[in-house]
Structure 1
Amino acid sequence: MKKLTLLIAGIFLIGVLFAQEMQPAKPVFENGEAQIVKAFEDPDMWIREDLWVETEFDSDGDGKPDRMHVDVTRPRQTETEGLKLPVVYNTSPYFAGTAGNNPEYFWNVNHEIGEKPKQYTYPPEIKRRGGRPIISKGHVNTWVPRGYIVVHSSSPGTSLSDGSPTVGGENESLAPKAVIDWLCGRAKGYKTRTGNEEVNAYWSTGKVGMTGTSYNGTLPLAAATTGVDGLEAIIPVAPNTSYYHYYRSNGLVRSPGGYMGEDIDVLFDFIHSGDLDKRAYAREQVRDTEMRNGMDRITGDYNDFWAGRDYLNQMGPMKAALLMSHGFNDWNVMPEHSFRIYEAAKAKGIPTQIYYHQNGHGGPPPMTIMNRWFTRYLHEVENGVENDPVAWIVREDDERDNPTPYKDYPNPDASPVKFYLSKGAPEKGGLSTTPTRKQGKETLVDNYSFSSEALAKAEYTGHRLIYVTPVLKEDVHISGKPVIAIKAASSKPAVNLSVYLVSLPWQESRSPRRPVKITDNLITRGWADLQNYKSLTESKPLKAGKFYEMTFELQPDDQVIKAGQQIGLMIFSSDKEFTLHPEPGTKLTVDLDGTSIEIPVVGGAGAYKKAVE
């Protein structure tokens, strides 16, 4: 009898397991997050295919609408069981390879400010890499097992997509819009680049989320600014939100960190991997005409060309929920790029969160935060993400997957504390919340051959001015954007102006394998062209010896300056790693009584006073 009972129980268990196996596979959610589903996690059971989506523009001059190359990776159940799933979409100009980062093909930065630079050497043709049907394998292992379809597309003029790169032009917004329209049944897809056999996205729910890093993080924002229906949520990571802010700073020609001499036309050549027989048209119409006539590498002024490549100006139609991610020490795509869009999206009432870490370029939010975001807006699971903390900041000694939640960024408890300068050149002067008048003027001599690190570490030098607070007796938490108001004069008609906030004394290396870098001691920094003291759109040559007043923001930051350190304001001219390199010798004179800086301190003036007394 006992054996019979066990046999019956075994048969019942097998039946239950068999019934479970026969049930249609579907996404599973726990704690507001999509879980890995066994039926979706075997790559051998995924369907991979590619196609071309027709757009509403012709950017390669052949008289026909451009078609974007698209790949799809989806669970087999979308074919065998009629399962429909939402889409995680990633688009890029990089999928076919690039021209590489050879400085030989960048602009020469060794010349006077305002001087017309010599033309750079063009890079060799990009040879497309990769084959059909796979454009990229990125994101598939993360999202397909969790019940999503992953889609990639190559940007206009790259890989097997038609068109021309425009580096922020309208077609780079309309291209992903067309793919989303296709995913929602509003645009046509074709099996081949030139054929008429159509392909439909019958497996899509019409809910799309986008993510990516750097240029690939810019394009989700570009698509979102079109207001396209079906794009429900985006997670841009270190996005370039304004090409002016990427290649210029407050009127100054300034390179992105690590890419001295790069400009928007160089980036065009870097990504232009499309059809060889169509490259000549794109170079003539886009690079040599539109870009060269608009980019103005001589004055650095803001103009219509740059305004058209600033996504902040295009946010009117945007409605996709925004989870923004960036690093405070990203000196390639600087942290202002994310912050300016975050502020605007929040003001529009768009569901918005921001994640900042203390490292450099790249770095997505923790998987839990991303998962909750896409689960809520793509699967429409009411997981309460809208009630989660708005800001996530990784503290200095924490891991990136362990951010500290805050009510907002900047910290709502931060308020500006105004600091005044007292003389001390060529050594260190003072930085105090109490104004000390009749401090006079101090002068530095420009010399780009000295790095910012060397200038910050120097005890005595005539190539920078530096002003420091008393030693902190307690930690000081800075959150937000410092603002400097400077009164200065130049001995020449143009001068680079570089401003750093640093933490001193210089930290010692914790390991012989890891030397201390400027970013270990850097709070934040900024650059400006004194010729633009009145207007970002119009610069005027400086009169030698005449003082001009200019106010501008430094990059946003959130950092705790430890007790035992001093906060230092360093003012110098040419920045070896970022600005043009004019002939050394220009004199920059600062009127100390007319110069001050406001630093956002958590707890305001009271907290700072307590820290130094």
Structure 2
Amino acid sequence: MKARILALAGSLAVAAPLAIGTLSEADAAPTSATDTPPVSLVDGMTSPRYDYATAIRETVWVDTPDLDGDGQPERIATDIIRPRELDGTARVPVIMDASPYYLSLGRGNDGEFKEYASDGSPTKFPLYYDNYFVPRGYAFVAVDMAGTARSTGCTDEGGRSDVESAKAVVEWLDGKGSAHDSSGALVQATWSNGSTGMIGKSYDGTLANGVAATGVDGLKTIVPISAISSWYDYNRWQGAVKSRHYASSLSRTIAQRRTIPTDCSARLAYMDANDADATGAYTDFWAERDYRDGTFYDASNVKASVFIVHGLQDNNVKTMNASKWWEALGQSGVERKMWLSRLGHVDPFDHDRQEWVTTLNRWFDHELMGIDNGIDREPAVRVETAPNQWETSKTWPIQSARTMSLNPREDGTLALGKQDPGTASYVNNSRLSETNAVSLTANPNRVQFLTGAVTKDVRISGTPTVDLTVTRSAPVGQVSVMLVDYGAMDRVSTTGDGALTLATETCWGESIATDDACYKDVTRRLQTTQLQVLARGWARLDGARRHQVTVELAANDIVVPAGHQLGLVVSGASNGVIAVDTSSGTYAVDLRSTRLNLPVSGSMSGFAPGRLTAKDTDNLAKGTLPDLDETLWPR
């Protein structure tokens, strides 16, 4: 039998006043409906008060206009669980997770699916949100995105159909629009007080971003985890294409196991015809799927507060989606909060469970219940700059970060000061792996520049860029750029996105026979490595054979320890994108107009690039570095 530990939210040193409608444990529920459900506070947070076992579980289908172009309106399956004790006496706020995965791929690290009784009523809600928050006076609503599970329509890879299907449910919860039950009878959300918070990881969090970017009334907050803010920045990188016809491929995948057979071939064909794979260009197709500054959606529309959560080693939804969303929201004056971990595409429930659930409890209490618990007055940003080492700040990037420009030189160094008038060349290799590209072993298929040892710890905080001037022989080409930390240390592994699932479980909320609140524990997967790629970037090269481009790398926030050195690696194709130039032509980098622009915090005197001894230079030529065992380096 697996070990099960009943976990409760940790105590906080917060003495929050009781919100309006908040009652002590001994107080009775009101006799007339109110918009402020009575809750019990422990250490300033809502605590269990209502019976999960007897909670109302129901399904409605929210009506929308035609979303897939077949002339028929859509019906969006919406599964609801809410406290029975408050039915007809108090209206409650809603925590909502709209997803395409409830019947296709499952949700969470434990891979849970929705389950239903023979009469169609929901018996299992994936994830812990229902188990934990319903006893605290919230409703939980799990929405099947259009074209998936029990909803009609066709999937749209982040386009209007996807977003509008989730938006319609928020509107219905706010008293607008219509819905029907399984018998076809009209249903109103008279139990909802109109305040909704959306949450979810990956595609689910992406839907939250998109719905918020519509400016819909009733949406008070969103918590996007590992989420996309621009589908172009998910599928592309400055014209470089990640994979061909990805939009239609993903749409087919998430439409698995849907209960309403639908011919979506026209929508899939449209995606393939308009995804601009041939050029990698940002077209109207991608502008429709841009929530920061797109055709239909824009950060300036956002009324809800936003709590962003992202992994700084996320190579699925890369950090650009979080960093640019954060920036755009700030420019629009949106209330923001952000967590950045050292893991990859991982939910914070699976890397810092106790701290996360406590924080989320307080966030929803503040944003949806109106409880003044002080979370809005705490530092807005929490960043894991090294394994299990967290820093907080009011802003991000951190206020002390400033841009330092380092210049590559013909001798293989990367230095402050004057730019080198020379060139550095490499032979394009469309099969070059990242492992070989960043190795210290000599390699003709990339150029590599090293700083020499950092004399003091340096914190990189923000988005590095590389100004490049490249001459090529091919009519169309590409460059791949990597910023690398060279030096042995314990790091969060990239295997399994840095998460290791354990055999034990902890329980977060109340359980019933068909829906328990217990989930496998997860810990960081730490590994001693000799190097780490800190940031990657790609760009397609069209037009003139001599091409000037600024490659934007993925944002990061990390401490490079004293004794390590930074490296800049430039190559042609890499395994991150599709090669458009598969020839073995030579690319020449003009060093006079090439530089690494690095956002750093710390003493400039501690960062001493280019100060290599004669022995260092000799070792570089041999492909080794002092104090590092060359045999440990990946080939």
- Report the TM-score range of the alignment, normalised by the length of the smaller protein: 0.7 to 0.9
Per the alignment, residue 159 of structure 1 pairs with: 149
Matched AA of 1:224: A
Per the alignment, residue 78 of structure 1 pairs with: 86
- Indicate how the Cα distance of structure 1 residues 584 and 145 shifts in structure 2: closer, same or farther if over 3 A, else same: farther
| Residues 64-91 of structure 1: per-residue CA shift (max 9 Å, x gap) | 3211001011122123x62322110001
Per the alignment, residue 288 of structure 1 pairs with: 269
Matched AA of 1:86: P
Contact 1:209 1:234 in 2 (8 A): yes
Deviation at 1:348, TM superposition (A): 1.3
| Residues 556-596 of structure 1: per-residue CA shift (max 9 Å, x gap) | 11010011110000111111243337545132211112211
What TM-score, normalized by structure 2, do the two folds share?
A: 0.78
Q: How does 1:114-125 map to 2 (within 5 A)?
A: none
| Cα distance in 2, alignment partners of residues 596 and 461 from structure 1 | 21
| Cα distance in 2, alignment partners of residues 99 and 398 from structure 1 | 29
| Residues 95-131 of structure 1: per-residue CA shift (max 9 Å, x gap) | 121599xxxxxxxxxxxxxxxxxxxxxxxxxxx9844
Contact 2:104 2:257 in 1 (8 A): no
**Aligned mate of 1:432, from 408, 415, 420:** 415
**Aligned mate of 2:455, from 456, 473, 480:** 473
Deviation at 1:491, TM superposition (A): 2.1
Per the alignment, residue 445 of structure 1 pairs with: 427
Per the alignment, residue 88 of structure 1 pairs with: 95
Contact 1:32 1:375 in 2 (8 A): no
| Cα distance in 1, alignment partners of residues 323 and 261 from structure 2 | 38
Contact 1:31 1:383 in 2 (8 A): no
| Residues 398-435 of structure 1: per-residue CA shift (max 9 Å, x gap) | 17xxx4211211011000001001113xxxx0000112
Per the alignment, residue 598 of structure 1 pairs with: 597
**Aligned mate of 1:142, from 102, 112, 132:** 132
Deviation at 1:496, TM superposition (A): 2.3
Q: How does 1:399-438 map to 2 (within 5 A)?
A: 403-424=390-411, 429-438=412-421
| Cα distance in 2, alignment partners of residues 242 and 518 from structure 1 | 33
Secondary structure, aligned partner of 1:353? strand
| Residues 141-164 of structure 1: per-residue CA shift (max 9 Å, x gap) | 222122211001100111111111
Deviation at 1:311, TM superposition (A): 0.5
Contact 2:104 2:255 in 1 (8 A): no
Matched AA of 2:402: S
1:302 is aligned to 2:289: no
Secondary structure, aligned partner of 1:298? coil
| Cα distance in 1, alignment partners of residues 552 and 460 from structure 2 | 14
Secondary structure, aligned partner of 1:232? strand
Contact 1:243 1:264 in 2 (8 A): no
| Cα distance in 1, alignment partners of residues 328 and 561 from structure 2 | 32
Per the alignment, residue 514 of structure 2 pairs with: none
| Cα distance in 1, alignment partners of residues 260 and 303 from structure 2 | 39
Contact 2:167 2:216 in 1 (8 A): yes
- Indicate how the Cα distance of structure 1 residues 96 and 277 shifts in structure 2: closer, same or farther if over 3 A, else same: closer
1:180 is aligned to 2:170: yes
| Cα distance in 2, alignment partners of residues 422 and 562 from structure 1 | 24
Deviation at 1:528, TM superposition (A): 0.6
Structure whose alpha-carbon radius of gyration is higher: 1
| Cα distance in 1, alignment partners of residues 465 and 590 from structure 2 | 17
Per the alignment, residue 55 of structure 2 pairs with: 46
Secondary structure, aligned partner of 1:171? helix
1:330 is aligned to 2:314: yes
Per the alignment, residue 568 of structure 2 pairs with: 569
Contact 1:507 1:521 in 2 (8 A): no
Q: How does 1:91-110 map to 2 (within 5 A)?
A: 91-98=98-105
| Residues 522-571 of structure 1: per-residue CA shift (max 9 Å, x gap) | 1111111122xxxxxxxx3x44xxx2211131111101001111000011
Per the alignment, residue 34 of structure 2 pairs with: none
| Cα distance in 2, alignment partners of residues 528 and 99 from structure 1 | 34
- Indicate how the Cα distance of structure 1 residues 456 and 202 shifts in structure 2: closer, same or farther if over 3 A, else same: same
Matched AA of 2:536: R
Per the alignment, residue 224 of structure 1 pairs with: 212
Contact 1:60 1:278 in 2 (8 A): no
| Cα distance in 1, alignment partners of residues 573 and 527 from structure 2 | 22
Structure with bigger strand share is: 2
Deviation at 1:170, TM superposition (A): 1.3
| Cα distance in 2, alignment partners of residues 278 and 510 from structure 1 | 43
Contact 2:457 2:559 in 1 (8 A): yes
| Cα distance in 2, alignment partners of residues 510 and 495 from structure 1 | 34
| Cα distance in 1, alignment partners of residues 95 and 190 from structure 2 | 16
Contact 2:454 2:561 in 1 (8 A): yes
Contact 2:481 2:551 in 1 (8 A): no
Per the alignment, residue 397 of structure 1 pairs with: 387
Contact 2:476 2:581 in 1 (8 A): no
| Cα distance in 1, alignment partners of residues 162 and 260 from structure 2 | 21
Gaps spanning 5+ residues in structure 2: where?
A: 1-24, 31-36, 108-112, 350-355, 501-524, 613-635
Deviation at 1:299, TM superposition (A): 1.0
Contact 1:60 1:163 in 2 (8 A): yes
Deviation at 1:371, TM superposition (A): 2.0
Deviation at 1:216, TM superposition (A): 0.5
| Cα distance in 1, alignment partners of residues 492 and 284 from structure 2 | 48
| Cα distance in 2, alignment partners of residues 518 and 548 from structure 1 | 36
Matched AA of 1:235: V
| Cα distance in 1, alignment partners of residues 27 and 53 from structure 2 | 18
Per the alignment, residue 492 of structure 1 pairs with: 474
Deviation at 1:306, TM superposition (A): 0.8
1:269 is aligned to 2:252: yes
Contact 2:491 2:527 in 1 (8 A): yes
Per the alignment, residue 110 of structure 1 pairs with: none
Structure with bigger helix share is: 1
| Cα distance in 2, alignment partners of residues 225 and 510 from structure 1 | 33
1:524 is aligned to 2:535: yes
Contact 2:490 2:529 in 1 (8 A): no
Per the alignment, residue 20 of structure 1 pairs with: 26
Contact 1:472 1:612 in 2 (8 A): no
Contact 2:386 2:491 in 1 (8 A): no
- Indicate how the Cα distance of structure 1 residues 268 and 374 shifts in structure 2: closer, same or farther if over 3 A, else same: same
Matched AA of 1:398: N
**Aligned mate of 2:224, from 233, 236, 250:** 236
Identity %, equivalent residues: 29
Considering only aligned residues, what root-mean-square deviation do their CA atoms show, in Å? 3.0
Contact 1:156 1:171 in 2 (8 A): yes
Contact 1:154 1:160 in 2 (8 A): yes
Aligned pair count reads 534
| Cα distance in 2, alignment partners of residues 423 and 23 from structure 1 | 76
| Cα distance in 1, alignment partners of residues 189 and 528 from structure 2 | 50
| Cα distance in 2, alignment partners of residues 156 and 431 from structure 1 | 51
| Cα distance in 1, alignment partners of residues 268 and 77 from structure 2 | 23
**Aligned mate of 2:325, from 318, 327, 341:** 341
| Cα distance in 1, alignment partners of residues 397 and 529 from structure 2 | 24
Per the alignment, residue 578 of structure 2 pairs with: 579
| Cα distance in 2, alignment partners of residues 578 and 510 from structure 1 | 24
- Indicate how the Cα distance of structure 1 residues 143 and 275 shifts in structure 2: closer, same or farther if over 3 A, else same: closer
When structure 1 is superposed on structure 2, of 563-572 and 266-275 the one drifting more is 266-275
Secondary structure, aligned partner of 1:70? strand
Contact 2:62 2:178 in 1 (8 A): yes
Secondary structure, aligned partner of 1:164? coil
